[in-house]
Amino acid sequence: MNIFRLLGDLSHLLAIIILLLKIWRTRSCAGVSGKSQILFALVFTTRYLDLFTNFISMYNSAMKLIYLVCSYATVFLMYFKFKATYDSNHDTFRMEFLVVPVGGLAFLVNHDFTPLEILWTFSIYLEAVAILPQLFMISKTGEAETITSHYLFALGSYRALYIVNWVFRFYTEGFFDLIAIVAGCVQTILYCDFFYLYITKVLKGKQLTLPA
Amino acid sequence: LPILKPKDEL
């Protein structure tokens, strides 16, 4: 564990909590992509099956459980409790366009051809693209609520911090996981355009709107 | 590809 990893995990947790609180406090999930949230729940479910097979630390198990519970809670709030506020007309990205190719790739490119390892690989690839329905939704409506953009910024920061963590681990421990690194870089690149808009608009007190 | 290790990252 290094400081970048820890900050990355906390940033990830912050993102998840910002989103849950936003939905809970405003009693509305307008502007949030339910598709992205379902994909994240699927990511955590397929990745954290190792909760049952190997123990790393209390921190590791506790964080996994928190991520899992929070992601299912978000999906529950969006599709059941506050379903009436869910903006499904603008959430039109087709999940199968991500899940099917990612599943195929996980079968072809993995560290070991075993069920748990393939599911882990699937979760890594899927996480890289799971935010696309949300970004697609923002590009369709042309704007995002400020709180939604804070959520995305925290989520993007988590990815960027993980890259720094990998560089650090490579030099200090000689550790690297090529699958995680390539997928993590792809994921971080997807946020670049958003980061630019966040810094030029949201941090100056304006709402996030896309240039016409 | 690198050797398989327990996944200590989240």
Which helix H or strand E contains A144, and what residues bound it? strand A143-144
Mean pLDDT, consecutive 10-residue segments, chain A of 212 residues? 96 98 97 98 97 93 98 98 97 97 97 94 97 95 93 97 95 91 95 92 89 76
pLDDT at B3 over 80: no
ipTM of predicted complex: 0.82
A177 phi and psi, to 5 degrees? -125, 105
pLDDT at B2 over 70: no
* A210: helix, strand or coil: coil
Task: Retrieve residue A26's tokens.
Answer: 């405003």
pLDDT at B1 over 50: no
Other CB atoms within 10 A of residue A183 CB: 21
**Chain A partners within 8 Å of B10 (Cβ):** 9, 12, 60, 63-64, 67
Is residue A90 within 8 A of residue A137, CB to CB? The reply is: yes
d(C-alpha A191, C-alpha A1), whole Å? 25
Task: Retrieve residue A171's tokens.
Answer: 């030099």
- Chain A, residues 2-61, CB within 8 A of chain B, namely 5, 9, 12, 47, 50, 54, 56-57, 60
A94 secondary structure, DSSP code: -
**Chain A partners within 8 Å of B5 (Cβ):** 175, 177
Q: Read off the pLDDT of residues A70-128 as tens digits, 9 standing for 90 and up.
A: 999 999 999 999 999 999 999 999 999 999 999 999 999 999 999 999 999 999 999 99
Which helix H or strand E contains A209, and what residues bound it? strand A208-209
Per the model's pLDDT, the better-predicted residue between B5 and A142 turns out to be A142
Other CB atoms within 10 A of residue A56 CB: 15
**Chain B partners within 8 Å of A124 (Cβ):** none
